[in-house]
Each structure stands twice: as structure tokens, then as C-alpha cells.
Amino acid sequence: MKRPTITDIAKEAGVSKGAVSYALNGRPGVSHATRTRILAIAEQLGWGPSSAARALSDGKAGAIGMVIDRPADVLGVEPFFMRLIAGIQNELGSGPTSLLLQVAPDHDTELGIHRRWHAERRVDGVLLVDLRVDDERLDAVTAIGMPAVVLGGPLDRSDLPSAWTDDGAAVGEVLDYLAALGHRRVVHVAGPPEFLHTRVRTEAFVAAARRLDLTEARTVHTDYTDESGASAARRVLVSGEPPTALIFDNDVMAVAALGAVQELGLSVPGDVSFVAWDDSVLCRLVRPALTAVRRPVADYGALAASMLQRLIAGEDVQDAGTTALMLVTRASSGAVPRPGNRR
């Protein structure tokens, strides 16, 4: 069950290794006749190029890497990453590049993984996800000279191209929508402030609130878990001037909060409207179904993978964004309750 090498093919075809290499790679230097003969033999022998040998010879690993550092339980329930991965794979397709995935428990471990990948030449480049404010990874990868594409931003760093979704505009659209329904007290239940996308959305939220003159709009931070989302919702809704609409930074928190709010005896959207970020099957399944911002997550992953491949190929790559965000309205959002109607 020994796998054939080009030497075997060369012997079989009665030519040199070099000729076989040229033939198999479709480069000039061999006649049409020998080329077809070699290809036939390779096919018959079930030959495939040894990725190790090729990597050693041309210095390319033939793989890109991505590290996810989130606690495993949060990771499990958020569809985001799986959809992202599916998009990346779709872009890589059956090409010569494959995806190396690592789940890291924390940020430092992730840095170590990148360094190891680089030292071992395991990957040609990496995708950086879940960007933080003042993220150490950015300087780390540029320092070791590892090609990288950032998911998030835009970043305004000439040395690191980024792929982004226009979350800011979507936040504006959501607030426009809520304001049109008459909402004035809106709370943004955001993720941890150290994430860059949290900051982007928060700033857009503040800007849109000011534009619409919603003086009572505000943001509260959570750690993205279902408990913290539910707890945040409970806290703001029992306060003196409860909001009439909540915007959640992920779907899990929105669903958890939905349960918590109903336990408080409030109705959705009768008493309070819900808008979730990142539409997923989850939003569709719960009752009432959740109004949500749909991002083309798979396209996003594909875009980033494509940029990284071009970057590795030595091309000049510019920041690029997918703007096709969409607000999908469902039963969880509606007109603001008439004063005195509450409870």
C-alpha cells in the first residue's frame, strides 16, 4: 500500500524526475505526447503530490490558520464561528490550501500558537478574529512577518488588511427603525468593551442616538454569556425609567433575556421590543421570533480567506467590507407601548 512518488512515475515512463514534475504541473518543457503519457501513469497509480515535500521545496505550507479563543461553552452555542468556517472553506474550496483550526483557552495561549505556527512554518498566514482594543496580536504577527488578515475593523493600519462588516451602519438602521416605532428609551446590551466590534457598535449607537435625539439611550456591558444577558435585561427593566426596546449584541443573550423578561411578567413586544445581533436559526425558533440583524457571515469568512490568499501570493491587498447587512423584522419588535399601558 505504498504511495507512489514522482520517481516511480519517472521510472515507469522512462523519463527523469524533472520531466515528470514539469508534466504534472502543466509547465512547458515536455512534449504533448510524454505529458499525456505521464499524466495517464500518474492517474493510474493514484499519485498525489506530497504536501510535505512540496512545502519543503517551495517554502509554502499550503495552509492558513485560525485561532479561536473563547470558552468552549460559549463557543458551542454561537453559530457565528461555524458559519464563518463554512464560508472560509467554501472559498478555499478544493484548492491546495487547507484550514488549520485551533481553540485556545486564552489570549496568551493564542499568541504562543501563532509564534509556534510561524517557527514551524505550519501556515502561510493567519486570520485574526475577535479583535480587541489595543490587540497585542497585531504587533506580534507583523513583528514575525506573518501574513495576516484581520476580521473586524476597518483598522486603518497599512500593514494589516482587514475585512469588515459595516456594523456601524446597521446599528444606525436599527435605531432608525426603533425610533420610527416611537421608541425613545433604548438600551444596547453589548459585549465586553475590550472587543473592538463592541466599541464600533457602541460608538455607532451613541452617534445614532444623538442624531435621533434619543437622550435616554445607553449601553450596558456583558460577557456575552446567556446569564449575563438575561441579568442585564432584568436589571434595566426593573429600573426607574425602563427602556422600551433592547438591542442585544448576540442571539444567545437575546434568547436568554426573552425568558427572563417573560418571567418578570412583561410581554415582548407588548412592553419591550427586542432586536438581536446576528440572525440565526435560533432567532427564528423562539417565540416570539426575534427581529435581528443578519450579517452575511459566510461571505465574510470567504472574503477574509480570499484576501489572505492574495496577501500570501504577494499581492497588494486593501481593506474590504461587506455592506450587505440586513435588518430582519419579526414578532419581537413593535410599536412603543402607549403610556399607562404598561404592566
Q: Write out the residues near a second copy by the rule CB under 8 A.
A: 1, 3, 46-53, 55-56, 61, 63, 72-73, 75-77, 79, 81-83, 85-87, 89-90, 94, 98-103, 109, 112-113, 116, 118-122, 144-145, 226, 252, 255-256, 258-259, 262-263, 280-282, 284-287, 289, 298
For residue 52, the minimal CB distance to DNA (Å) is 7
**ω into 296 cis (within 30 of 0):** no
Distance between CA 206 and CA 172 in Å, rounded?
A: 9
User: For residues 28 and 265, which CB has a smaller minimum distance to DNA in the complex?
Assistant: 28
Distance between CA 125 and CA 317 in Å, rounded?
A: 14
For 154, the enclosing helix (H) or strand (E) is none
Distance between CA 241 and CA 243 in Å, rounded?
A: 7
* Residue 101 binding: pick among DNA, a second copy, none (C-beta 5-8 Å cut-off by kind): a second copy
Which residues in 134-178 belong to E strands, given as ranges? 148-151, 162-165
CA 92, 97, 103, 106 torsion-angle sign: negative
For residue 208, the minimal CB distance to a second copy (Å) is 29
- Identity of the amino acid at 157: R
Which residues in 185-265 belong to E strands, given as ranges? 186-190, 218-221, 245-248
Instruction: Supply the DSSP symbol for 7.
Output: H
For 64, the enclosing helix (H) or strand (E) is strand 63-68
* Residue 17 binding: pick among DNA, a second copy, none (C-beta 5-8 Å cut-off by kind): DNA
* Residue 30 binding: pick among DNA, a second copy, none (C-beta 5-8 Å cut-off by kind): DNA
For residue 343, the minimal CB distance to a second copy (Å) is 20
Distance between CA 128 and CA 139 in Å, rounded?
A: 12
User: For residues 17 and 284, which CB has a smaller minimum distance to DNA in the complex?
Assistant: 17
User: For residues 44 and 323, which CB has a smaller minimum distance to DNA in the complex?
Assistant: 44
User: For residues 54 and 115, which CB has a smaller minimum distance to DNA in the complex?
Assistant: 54
User: For residues 81 and 205, which CB has a smaller minimum distance to a second copy in the complex?
Assistant: 81
Other CB atoms within a 10 A radius of the CB of residue 165 amount to 24
User: For residues 145 and 340, which CB has a smaller minimum distance to a second copy in the complex?
Assistant: 145
* Residue 1 binding: pick among DNA, a second copy, none (C-beta 5-8 Å cut-off by kind): a second copy
Other CB atoms within a 10 A radius of the CB of residue 7 amount to 11
C-alpha 199: how far from its chain's center?
16
For residue 36, the minimal CB distance to DNA (Å) is 11
For residue 313, the minimal CB distance to DNA (Å) is 13
Binding site for DNA (CB under 7 A): 3, 5-7, 14-19, 21-22, 24-25, 28-35, 47, 49-50, 53-54, 56-59
For residue 256, the minimal CB distance to a second copy (Å) is 5
* Residue 19 binding: pick among DNA, a second copy, none (C-beta 5-8 Å cut-off by kind): DNA
Q: Which residue has the cell 499550503?
A: 62
- Cell numbers that stand for 45 in this block: 497509480
